Amino acid sequence: MKGTILAALYFFILILIIMGIFPVQGSANSNQIRLMGQSIYVPVYSHIYHGDREKEINLTATLSIRNTNLDKNIMLHTIDYFDSNGKLLKKYLETPIVLKKFSTIRYVIKAKDKSGGSGAKFIVRWKSKGLSNAPLIEAIMISTQSGQGISFVSRGQAIHE
């Protein structure tokens, strides 16, 4: 009987964890890691495919970089755009720029620009003076054609170079 109760309690706690009642690593309630800089890889899609014939749908892509610090500026050192084969297509910064506290900057790849391909990507390098929250970096892709729309988001991921 005691074993059955413990098994049921264990199962109940497991369900609560799965449902998100108890925060785990990476949740919005967990402690924020503070850093002095990172290189972030952001997947971008200039087009995607649909149907058996792999028909292309061109997408407008917006790179959004949000400073999540309420009281600290960060420096953006590199915003580079690469194609599916890793070829550098465009350097968006010639010199570092300041992203002021709690502000956002964006860069747009037009739908007619298919040069990046379905495996395009940005590399964003940022730094700060002292420990800082990492910026939230996302790519938002959208298309509306023939009365239909598609949109999705890809979030940047820190990489080691």
Half-sphere exposure of 93 (CA within 13 A, CB side): 19
Q: Match 């309420």 to its residue by tokens.
A: 70
Task: Give the chain's domain count.
Answer: 1
Inside any domain, residue 49: yes
In one-letter notation, the amino acid at residue 18 is I
Q: Which of 66, 39, 67, 36 shows the shortest CA–CA distance to 140?
A: 66
Q: How far is it, in rounded angstroms, from Cα 155 to Cα 153?
A: 7
Tokens of 102: 């709690």
In one-letter notation, the amino acid at residue 137 is I
Domain, as residue range, for 85? 39-159
pLDDT band at 66 (very low <50, low <70, confident <90, very high): very high
Inside any domain, residue 51: yes
Helix (H) or strand (E) holding 62: strand 60-66
pTM: 0.79
Inside any domain, residue 25: no
Position 159 scores a pLDDT of 95
Inside any domain, residue 134: yes
Tell me the average pLDDT across 30-59: 88
Position 7 scores a pLDDT of 60
Inside any domain, residue 34: no
Going by DSSP bridges, is the β-strand pair 34-44/120-133 parallel, antiparallel, or unpaired?
Answer: antiparallel
Inside any domain, residue 19: no
Please report the DSSP string for 79-126 in residue order: EEEE-TTS-EEEE--SS-EEE-TT-EEEEEE-TT--TT-TTEEEEEEE
Read off the CATH number of the domain in which 85 is found. Answer: 2.60.290
Inside any domain, residue 3: no
Inside any domain, residue 31: no
